[in-house]
Structure 1
Amino acid sequence: MTADQRRALPSPSLKQTRRAAAAGLGGTLLEYYDFAIYGLAAALVFGPVFFPSADPTVGVLASFATFGVGFLARPLGGAVFGHFGDRLGRKNVLVTTMLIMGVSTVLIGCLPGYDSIGHWGAVLLVLLRLAQGFAFGGEQPGAVLLVAEHASAGRRGLFASLPGVGVSFGLVLGNLAFLAVSTTMDPAAVQTWGWRIPFWAGGLLVLIGLLVRFGLAETPDFERNKANAQVSASPILDVIRTHPTQILLAGGVQAGQAVASYIAVVYSLAYAREHDVPAALPLLGIILSGVLHLALVPAAGALSDRLGRLPTYLAGALFIAVTSLFFLPMIATGSAVLVLAAYLLLFGIGWAVITGVYPVMLAEAFATKVSYSGLSLGMQLGVVVGGVTPFVATLVSTAPNGPTLLGIGLSVVALLSAWCAAAIVGRTARAHGAAAMNQPVAVGAADAQP
């Protein structure tokens, strides 16, 4: 291919950009739909179905352990799919991750319980959960890149935020699916077969998502690198060698988002129960926050296109740093107004703002030929930190003034994530030769860094 031909590679059409946005949103929707229905099933039915025990608590703990093993496979999945995403292209890898996620979800709904095949049911459940986690590790970073590399510079923040909308949409849809089953069926039927329906329904989401992804073109940035013979032979090794600081900073940014979400979505439920808060209130707060995300996440992404990545992110991080000091005390009051306000402030507004900005901010920080690998390593590093948050929070809560310490801790994490954001945007601006750190820059221009 001649130099003129390489320069003539077409820019993405608005139709392809919108299709990429739909493909990215659909993947994260499925991912967090699975997250929601698996978590609810682990809490409500997996104990007696797969881990029958004289002590129901033991069964619940065992089922939650299967929930946790999915996080163990995420870093490996991020590394493997990051490698192939940089070598073979974003589209093909994302079709593969969606297939693995979807097939695993449907098969979980088909598993026989302990009464049929004994402990083999639990073994198969763990294996399928590991497969889900493995695919999850490569899904979100790839979805962000797929959209960011298709979008024009002036609207990249808006489009790259849309996979974050899928996070909230999936959580809301998963909760509604289980709510529909539990309120329309007899409890005995739910325990025996009704819980399987949300998992089977995940198969429909997969079919829709695959139809969108099969019709999508590869990203122009990857095609340009391929045409210029700039595809890395060992992207994981290359990104560790050339972008080690960006990986760590990306992990710090991701950790701020992950810690806030796991405090709000997981730990706060146990905290509310300890303070005799009606169970419906925190769940309603989470659902209302998820609905609010549908508007605020893309709004934050669009705002970053106008005001810059860093100012928008800092606004969200500082908002979390302040509201986290009051989050748990507001829940402890038991007042419906204060409980709902706590979720809407911390999770509905603060979390939505940083979630709308950080994907494009991280996508712009890595050279195109190693961006999938770099994003995967950085994001999964942050997710691992977030995954241990409920456990650490439970330990801290037992100390004197535990809730106060937790609020301060979350505030500190938010401020650290803001510092990581400032550092990574500064490095990106210098690599791009941008005059101002809040100036939107092209994905992949970090190729200029040594």
Structure 2
Amino acid sequence: MTVPSTDRKSLRRAFVASLSGTTLEYYDFAVYSVASATILGKLFFPSSDELASTMLAFSTYAVGYVSRPLGGFLFGRLGDILGRKQVLVFTLLLTGVATFLIGVLPTHATFGAGAAILLVLLRFAQGVGVGGEWGGAVLLSSEFGDPKRRGFWASAAQIGPPAGTLLANGVLTLLGVVLTKAQFESWGWRIAFLLSAVLVLFGLWLRMRLEETPVFQRIAERGERPKAPVREVVREEPRALITGILVRICPDVLYSLFTVFVLTYMTTQLGLPKNQGTLAVMIGSACQLFLMPAFGALSDRISRRTLYLVGTVAAAVWPFLFFPLANTRSIAAIIVGVVVALAIHALLYGPQAALITEQFSARLRYTGSSLAYTLAGVVGGAIAPLVFTALLAGFGTWVVVALYLAFTGVLTLTGVLLSRKTRVVDPEPVGARP
């Protein structure tokens, strides 16, 4: 299928909307993730025990993942019934409003335990929005494009996490430079959250101008929209769902290790300034902006399964090389280590959207891919920082952290072996000749 010239404008617009929307939502998500490793613990969960404070902050980080399946269930279902465009407007609003409100929350010093409760509730809302975002954003760009180039077009949504991470780290780093420590801890951190209001308005402007995807239009014209998509996915396409869950686990854990936990490890174990950790993450994320679409495009020429197998093995091995490098306390070595780790993540994450969505039939694609994405997040990225912190505290060595990531690699390899070898074909327009 070749995209007609008249549709190229819609295709480009969908690509930009998918990229910008997920960037904005992952900025919201990432700014909390970075703040939880650096500042939120002492503001909302004060404790004389720094480890306990960090663990509690990471617990709210996990809430944002645990709530994702609700978003995947709710918005994935609506996306297959009502359409991709309408749902993506709701997800963007939900995440943006929740993030803005975090920026105006009272802290424990002024509101006591109520501040922590409100923070957890808003974090929960963030997770619901992100849980419904990913599946729709992937379909938004990929269903406008040529199925033979699905790896590239679907990668638009995949660029969102590193772009959001880069933006969040950049904003927090800049605030840390221009403000004193007292100013940043008092009110400066709020600016990063409040900025989401401007970013979300821009994303809404883009998405409101979009048309519905051609694939969903064909499904609607044929009267093939599912009535109970969640039930149908579980009953009719369980292998696809299990595959989608397993292939996400290791990349999620890898990403949590090298964008969240690495900041805590550098400050608490190595005694290095937090800005050196954020610098390493920012450089690695900047490289991912180019690597994500490159590996997505490569998967259109080379089997996605093959790329995924190579990437998973590399992900399982790299921590055993990274931590000895990091323990030298050389910032150059740490930057190289984080950049390589995030390049490996890009090798997995770039083709991942196409690999997961093409496991499902088109009429159940939003629901199936959203459920796989969000359920994997609960057992993958949600608990990873908590597990890493507990393992390091309990055993006193990074080796157990590396072994945990290697274990998740085994799970993901199993998922790759279960995945379809052939691509799912999108429905042809009504009346098309066979």
TM-score, reference length from structure 1: 0.86
Work out whether residues 46 and 108 of structure 2, in 8 Å CA contact, stay in contact via their aligned partners in 1: yes
Q: Unaligned stretches of 5+ in structure 1?
A: 1-9, 430-439, 446-450
Work out whether residues 327 and 407 of structure 1, in 8 Å CA contact, stay in contact via their aligned partners in 2: no
Deviations 1:207-253, CA, capped at 9 Å, x for gaps: 11111100111111111111001000000000000111111111110
Q: 1:444 to 1:412 in 2, by over 3 A?
A: farther
Q: Unaligned stretches of 5+ in structure 2?
A: 429-434
Matched, 1:186 2:175: no
Please, which moves more after superposition, 38-47 or 188-197? 38-47
Aligned to 1:6: none
- The percentage of counterpart residues that share the same residue type is 36
Aligned to 1:286: 281
Describe the SS at the equivalent of 1:298: helix
Please, which moves more after superposition, 304-313 or 77-86? 304-313
- 1:275-354 equivalent positions in 2, closer than 5 A: 275-276=269-270, 278-279=272-273, 280-347=275-342, 349-354=343-348
Match among 253, 267, 270 for residue 259 of structure 1? 253
Work out whether residues 364 and 443 of structure 1, in 8 Å CA contact, stay in contact via their aligned partners in 2: no
**Count of residue pairs brought into register by the alignment:** 424
Aligned to 2:365: 371
Deviations 1:249-306, CA, capped at 9 Å, x for gaps: 1111010210111122223333334542524443322111101101111100111112
Q: What is the letter of the counterpart of residue 248 of structure 1?
A: I
Aligned to 1:360: 354
Rounded to whole Å, the distance in 1 between the matches of 2:395 and 2:190 is 43
Work out whether residues 106 and 115 of structure 2, in 8 Å CA contact, stay in contact via their aligned partners in 1: yes
Aligned to 1:442: 425
Rounded to whole Å, the distance in 2 between the matches of 1:441 and 1:59 is 47
Aligned to 1:81: 75
Deviations 1:174-218, CA, capped at 9 Å, x for gaps: 011111122112333323322221111111110111111001111
Aligned to 2:399: 404
Describe the SS at the equivalent of 2:398: helix
Q: 1:12 to 1:272 in 2, by over 3 A?
A: farther
Aligned to 1:423: 418
- 1:117-156 equivalent positions in 2, closer than 5 A: 117-156=111-150
Aligned to 1:42: 36
* 1:330 CA drift (Å): 2.1
Describe the SS at the equivalent of 1:151: coil
Rounded to whole Å, the distance in 1 between the matches of 2:347 and 2:38 is 32
Rounded to whole Å, the distance in 2 between the matches of 1:234 and 1:12 is 35
Rounded to whole Å, the distance in 2 between the matches of 1:150 and 1:47 is 43
TM-score, reference length from structure 2: 0.89
Aligned to 1:157: 151
Aligned to 1:111: 105
Matched, 1:388 2:383: yes
Matched, 1:93 2:87: yes
Q: 1:267 to 1:44 in 2, by over 3 A?
A: closer
Q: 1:315 to 1:128 in 2, by over 3 A?
A: same
Aligned to 1:436: none
Q: What is the letter of the counterpart of residue 307 of structure 1?
A: I
Aligned to 1:448: none
Deviations 1:106-151, CA, capped at 9 Å, x for gaps: 1221223445544443333222211111111111121112111111
